[in-house]
Amino acid sequence: MASRVFLDYVDPWVNWSWLGTHVPYVAAALQQHIVLTAIAVAGGFVIALPLGVVAQRSAAVRLPVLGTFGAFYTIPSLALFALLVPFTGIATTTTAEIPLIGYNVLILIRNVVVGLDAVPREVLDAADGMGYRPMARILRVELPLALPAIFAGLRVATVSTIGLITITAVIGLGGLGQLINQGLQESFHTPLVVATVLSIVLALVADVALATGQRFALPWARQA
């Protein structure tokens, strides 16, 4: 293989002069990537939070909800994109986001349920004894105590979504996935390598940013 890489391929893994002249192009792909990720995570969170609270309270809701989203989560994203294209159109944000939001709902519901399950019984009794109504108890006692688990879910959801967005290149979106696709179509290494590395870096930066955000938002939950 080495001979092939060194003799036949004149294309270097990163052509820095191409990169130098294509900064706005790469930045636009990165921006689309970030926007698509933000929609998928925020959308998943908005659906998962109330659903998770209800699911934690009632086994009759929990089992079908976790079962349905669990099956949805198992289905490969490319299959879901392909199934949606005739209905929601090719290269539309809707087609890209429905599967991604669905996956994030599963990740986040699980963590909401786990976080709420871990709230100590004594804390709930104390809140009841202090006269908290059910809604106030959820919002002001239970959810704040479940936040570390919810943050953990947000981190997993964000990192997974950043990787999955690249696959939307197949339906004409893709963010950084467009550059991967360009690298594939043109057998041109630079966009491929730059986009793959940027996607990994973006995921790790987002992960660290959320972990840092968690430390500031939940000073009482800082671990030693």
Partner 1 sequence: MSIFGAVWQWFANPAHWQGPDGIPTRLGEHLQLSAESVLLGAVIALPVGIALGHYGRFGNLAINISNVGRAVPSFGILVIAFQVFGLGDLPIILALTALAIPPMVTNSYVALREVDPDVRDAARGMGYRELAQLYRVELPLAVPLIMAGVRTSAVQVVATATLAALIAGGGFGRYIVDGFAQLNYPMTIAGAVLVALLALATELSLSGVERLLVPRGIRLLTAPTLRRASTFKVA
Binding site for partner 1 (CB under 8 A): 1, 4-5, 63, 66, 71, 73-80, 82-83, 85-86, 103, 106-107, 110, 113-114, 156, 159-160, 162-164, 166-167, 169-171, 176-177, 180, 183-184, 187, 189, 192-193, 195-196, 199-200, 203-204, 207
Please give the single-letter amino acid code of residue 158.
T
Residue 73, both tokens: 């989560």
Q: How far is the CB of 97 from partner 1 (least distance, A)?
A: 15
**Cα torsion angle, 122, 125, 129, 131, sign:** positive
127 versus 190: smaller Cβ distance to partner 1: 190
Sequence-distant (6+) residues with CB within 8 A of 188 are 11, 182
124 versus 170: smaller Cβ distance to partner 1: 170
What is the three-class DSSP state of 224?
A: coil
Extended strands (E) in the chain: none
30 versus 192: smaller Cβ distance to partner 1: 192
137 versus 148: smaller Cβ distance to partner 1: 148
Q: How far is the CB of 7 from partner 1 (least distance, A)?
A: 14
How far is 87 from 74, CA to CA, in rounded Å?
21
